Structure 1
Amino acid sequence: MDPDVLRQAPLFQGLESEAASALAAAMSTIHLDRGAVLFHEGDTEDQLYVVVSGKIKLGRSGSAGRENLIAVLGPGQMFGELSLFDPGPRSSTATAVTPAEIRSLDHDELIKWLTGRPEVARALLAQLAGRLRRANDVVADLVFSDVPGRVAKALLDLASRFGEETAEGVHVHHDLTQEELAQLVGASRETVNKALADFATRGWIRLEPRSVTILDVTRVAHRAR
């Protein structure tokens, strides 16, 4: 485990090195294979998780059985914190998109840190505020943005976390299937594929298996507005 990756999580921000090491030591390690489910929507467990390596997707199932992806998370990102403040059932299903290493912290252990470390409480409040802001953005996008605009925005978001600068542009190895990309955007696979094909025809992107190279970031960013 890379301690620098773990300390990218909001939970560790503001902690001194000794305190961060103590918090890391209180966490358990979980290894997941691709496709393994960490928890299901409706489960009642109350642990907080931090991604150390790999990718995790958070999804919800609709009444018709179709899945909607809420987020795709990578190293340094945290999830599951809602259950620490609201001990109801899990609001999503967490599944490994790739082989992944996860660190978990039990509710009772975190309460100790919240009581003695106000900086931890502030970091968690900032995380929750960010989650609410993103949820508001998603609602606004569904109301005001067309599918190509949402696809462009999703590509930029994935690039910001998983992108690698190359001589041609930004290579984004997102590890998602076409169906998962559609679920992330909140549209049908056919509509999302049509938007991606249009971007490729215009020379903005190059499509590759479970990845994409953004050749013209400016054009994609303009389409995302």
Structure 2
Amino acid sequence: MIEYLSKVQLFSQLNEHQLNAIASICMKRTFKVGTVLFHEKELGDAFYIVFTGSVKIYTSSSAGEEKILTLAKAGDSFGELSLIDGKPRSASAQTLEDSTLLTLTAKNFLDLLKNHFDISLCIMQELCQRLRDTNQHVYDLTFLDARTRVIKNLIKLANKNGTRQGNVISIRMTLNYDELSQMAGVQKPILMQVMRDLNEKQILAFVGQEMRLDLAKLRGG
């Protein structure tokens, strides 16, 4: 557990004593694909760290339309916001595959922040980065055309969730096309059109359950 926690971005700067403090209050739980961990507007009762698998964080409109905010993979954490400010969840979370998560109850999480300033600072830095990401997303929706948004979103997924060999990044497909279009902020037909174009130019290839993005050809195309 200690070895794993040391690789989690939030805790990478912590010493063994601090990691032991976290490990002692963590619970490891396994969830089936499609499990909703919490709904938007519910009161928060836990903080989560992805051990294996992946989780989508999303919001829903009154008409039932989803907007995916981010994809959490192994080493990522989520669910702290409503525990800190005491307000309802700002988004929902659902597993995209069978996943194992480390969970901390609200009480244990808040006690951890009170007793360990370094951990509190890591949480604050993470929240600041998410705010910057949100600001960038608003900028993209305002100023970038649909094609550029799709390509930028594919690059973002590749950087965060892909594995690289030379100029080619392989991305395992845990999101379907509806979800990819939601993340990019475009209609599904536009997403499909852009992806077909990238495929015809051999920038993007589909192999089994993977997408492969050729960065060299992308720069040239």
Partner in structure 2 of residue 79 of structure 1: 78
Of stretches 149-158 and 7-16 in structure 1, the one that deviates more from structure 2 is: 7-16
Partner in structure 2 of residue 27 of structure 1: 26
Of stretches 67-76 and 112-121 in structure 1, the one that deviates more from structure 2 is: 112-121
In structure 1, stretches of 5+ residues that fail to align are: none
TM-score (norm 1): 0.90
Aligned to 1:72, the other structure's residue is in SS state: strand
Partner in structure 2 of residue 126 of structure 1: 125
| Paired residues, number | 221
Could you tell me how far 1:77 is from its partner in structure 2?
A: 0.5
**Per-residue deviation, residues 110-153 of structure 1 (Å, max 9, x unmatched):** 22222221101110110110110000011000001112211111
The 1:209/1:143 distance shift into structure 2, 3 A limit, reads farther
Partner in structure 1 of residue 47 of structure 2: 48
CA distance in 1 between counterparts of 2:220 and 2:62 reads 35
1:10–1:124 contact (8 Å) kept in structure 2: no
The 1:41/1:154 distance shift into structure 2, 3 A limit, reads same
Partner in structure 2 of residue 205 of structure 1: 204
Could you tell me how far 1:10 is from its partner in structure 2?
A: 4.0
Partner in structure 2 of residue 64 of structure 1: 63
2:5–2:12 contact (8 Å) kept in structure 1: no
CA distance in 2 between counterparts of 1:208 and 1:87 reads 45
**Per-residue deviation, residues 32-74 of structure 1 (Å, max 9, x unmatched):** 1111111111211231111111010011111332101000110
Aligned to 1:203, the other structure's residue is in SS state: coil
CA distance in 1 between counterparts of 2:85 and 2:76 reads 20
1:6–1:52 contact (8 Å) kept in structure 2: no
Partner in structure 1 of residue 185 of structure 2: 186
CA distance in 2 between counterparts of 1:68 and 1:209 reads 26
CA distance in 2 between counterparts of 1:159 and 1:111 reads 34
The 1:221/1:185 distance shift into structure 2, 3 A limit, reads farther
Could you tell me how far 1:156 is from its partner in structure 2?
A: 1.3
- Amino acid in the other structure paired with 2:156: D
2:84–2:110 contact (8 Å) kept in structure 1: no
- Amino acid in the other structure paired with 2:87: G
Partner in structure 2 of residue 16 of structure 1: 15
Of stretches 152-161 and 90-99 in structure 1, the one that deviates more from structure 2 is: 152-161
- Amino acid in the other structure paired with 2:142: V
Of stretches 205-214 and 121-130 in structure 1, the one that deviates more from structure 2 is: 205-214
CA distance in 1 between counterparts of 2:126 and 2:44 reads 20
- Amino acid in the other structure paired with 2:129: G
CA distance in 1 between counterparts of 2:56 and 2:219 reads 24
Partner in structure 2 of residue 102 of structure 1: 101
Aligned to 1:45, the other structure's residue is in SS state: coil
The 1:167/1:19 distance shift into structure 2, 3 A limit, reads closer
- Amino acid in the other structure paired with 2:74: P
1:162–1:174 contact (8 Å) kept in structure 2: no
Please give the root-mean-square deviation of Cα atoms over the aligned residues, in Å.
Answer: 2.0
CA distance in 2 between counterparts of 1:72 and 1:158 reads 8
Alignment of 1:148-159 (within 5 A): 148-159=147-158
Q: Percent identity?
A: 27
